[in-house]
Amino acid sequence: MFTPGSKFFLGLTGFSLAVCVLYIALVDNATGGAVALLSIATASGVVAGLSLFNRDGEVAVGDTAAPASAEQLTASMWPLIATVGFVGVVAGLITHPIVFFLGLIALLAAGTEWLVQSWSEGASSDKVYNASLRGRMLHPLEFPILATVGLGVIIISFSRVMLAVSKDAGAIIFIVVGSAVLFAGAIFALKPSLKKTLVVGICVASAVGVAASGIAAASNGLRDDLVKAKKEHHFSHKECGEEESEHFDHLAEGTISMRSNPIATIELRDGKLTARELGVDKVTQTITFPRSNDATIIFRNKDEREARLTAYLGTKAVQDGVVEEVLNCTQMIGIDHEQALTFKIAKPSMASEKPYTLTVPGLEGQSIEIMVP
């Protein structure tokens, strides 16, 4: 009466319902989990019904014995992988989320593969036809996923290597690896008669080599200057006091999006500070920003010494009766260098006792006033 497929899904339905009852009884605020479990029960119940209705895809099953001439089913690794996945899920619950998710992925992958393989092996007594049926079902999933995972592993491994070695060594490795890939590709293209096993062997060995190098590099950690830069928040760290940072990502400030956006460019040249507003072809000592809006300016140092730009943005109360100045600064900018500075002023100029200004510490009598209407 019940087909193998429907038995499986009916079992899953019953199991989900039982777990749902336990979950609701044992866990507070159980709405989300209960909905998920009931959804699984409903979905598997529907699939069980479909499975019963079409007798597992019109395959002779159940009480019809396999013909004596039928070939033996192939051994399957999926139960083993499913077990590993299940253990990973359980272990992950008490160790680390990543273990849980890896286990879940293994469990889902094994479940899908096992299900389709079992179904296809019962489709007919022709083993080749069954295998092609399985391929038609799973190859559109398997190939893209495996290719993505494979490429991901190679890219991540290679990036770990590049982050672990010095900049000079990185450049050399990049050239060597790139040349090797180009050389191997050229050989494969020019010698189509090469044995397939040789080509596959070279590719697999290279991929394994890159992955192994990546694992070794990752375990060795980042190179010293990157570790230090990370500690200094090198993408955003801007100081108004004594310069402490050694690293700053100047390239991040050089992106098109940042450079196409400044409302004004502030330039220090020959000891004089001037501003040039977006769309206005003349210099000025006053710039105007809308309130409560992020504004970006570029500070360009054309002077003969290092300099930083300091934005005075009013005051704020830090405790009852205690106010402190709100400052925002670029880092010390070298000669002929520049840096973007983004800030927001919530209150209009009339709310501040002192005008909002842009100044260069140590440069007397030079400032750009920021007007906020």
Partner 1 sequence: MSTTTRRIVAGVSGLAATSFLASCAKDAPQDTWQPKGSNAKIIDDLQQPVFAIAGVVGVIVFCVVVYCIIKFRDRGQAMPEQTHGKPALEIGMTILPALILAGVGVFTFRTVFDLSKTSDTQMVVNVTGQQWWWEYDYPAQPELGITAPIITSGQMVIPVGTKVLLRETSRDVIHSYWIPALNGKRDAVPGRVHTLRLDADKPGIYAGQCTEFCGLSHANMRMETVALSKEDFAAWVANQLADAKSPAENTLAKEGEAVFLNQCVRCHQVNGLKKADGSPAIAAPDENVWSGAAPNLTHLMSRNTFAGASWDLLNKKCRANVWGASSETVGKKYLAGVSEECLNQTDLRRWLRNAPAMKPMYADPTQLSSTNGKYRGMPNLGLSEDDIDKLVAYLSTLK
Q: Is 329 in the site for partner 1 (CB under 8 A)?
A: no
Backbone phi and psi for residue 106, each to the nearest 5 degrees, phi listed first = -60, -40
| Other C-beta atoms lying within 10 Å of the C-beta of residue 225 | 13
Among 286, 304, 306, 354, binds partner 1 (CB under 8 A): 286
Q: Give the nearest distance from C-beta 72 to partner 1 in angstroms.
A: 53
- Is there binding between residue 179 and partner 1 (CB under 8 A)? no
Q: What is the distance between the alpha carbons of residues 176 and 153, in angstroms, rounded to a whole number? A: 20
CA distances (Å), origin 310, targets 91, 240, 242, 243, 369: 53, 7, 13, 13, 12
Closest CA to 262 of 199, 213, 318, 309: 309
d(CA 349, CA 326): 14
In the chain, % helix, strand, coil (3-state, to 5) comes to 55, 15, 30
273 neighbors 267 (Cβ within 8 angstroms): yes
By CB under 8 A, which span of 11-19, 20-28, 289-297, 309-317 interacts with partner 1? 289-297
Q: How many Cα atoms occupy the beta-carbon half-sphere of 342 within 13 Å? A: 10
- Residue pair 265/232 in contact (Cβ under 8 Å)? The answer is no
Per CB under 8 A, the list member of 32, 97, 279, 362 interacting with partner 1 is 279
Q: Which of 35, 280, 323, 335 binds partner 1 (CB under 8 A)?
A: 280
Q: Which of 25, 26, 251, 350 binds partner 1 (CB under 8 A)?
A: 350
Does position 373 interact with partner 1 (CB under 8 A)? The reply is yes
Contact between 287 and partner 1 per CB under 8 A: yes
Told to check if 328 binds partner 1 by CB under 8 A, we report no
Q: Is 227 helix (H, G, I), strand (E, B) or coil?
A: helix
- Candidates 14-22, 98-106, 322-330, 342-350: pick the segment binding partner 1 (CB under 8 A): 342-350
- Shortest Cβ 351–partner 1 spacing (Å): 4
How far is CA 96 from its chain centroid?
19
Q: Which is nearer to partner 1, 68 or 350 (CB)?
A: 350
263 binds partner 1 (CB under 8 A): yes
Q: Please state, in angstroms and rounded to a whole number, the distance separating the CA atoms of residues 247 and 222.
A: 15
Minimum distance of partner 1 from residue 356's CB (angstroms): 12
Cβ–Cβ under 8 Å, residues 315 and 325: yes
Q: Which stretch binds partner 1 (CB under 8 A): 22-30, 154-162, 230-238, 253-261?
A: 253-261
| Site size for partner 1 (CB under 8 A) | 29
Beta carbon nearer to partner 1, 191 or 354: 354
285: contact with partner 1 by CB under 8 A: no
Find all residues with CB under 8 Å of 56, minimum gap 6, and list them: 3, 4, 5, 6, 119, 122
Contact letters for partner 1, residues 37-56 (x by CB under 8 A): --------------------
Q: Kindly tell me which residue out of 142, 232, 239, 277 binds partner 1, with binding defined by CB under 8 A.
A: 277
Q: Which residue has the tokens 């020959």?
A: 270
Rule CB under 8 A: is residue 241 a binding residue for partner 1?
A: no
The residue range among 79-87, 129-137, 172-180, 348-356 that interacts with partner 1, by the rule CB under 8 A, is 348-356
Residues that bind partner 1 (CB under 8 A): 257, 260-263, 277-281, 286-294, 296, 346-351, 371-373
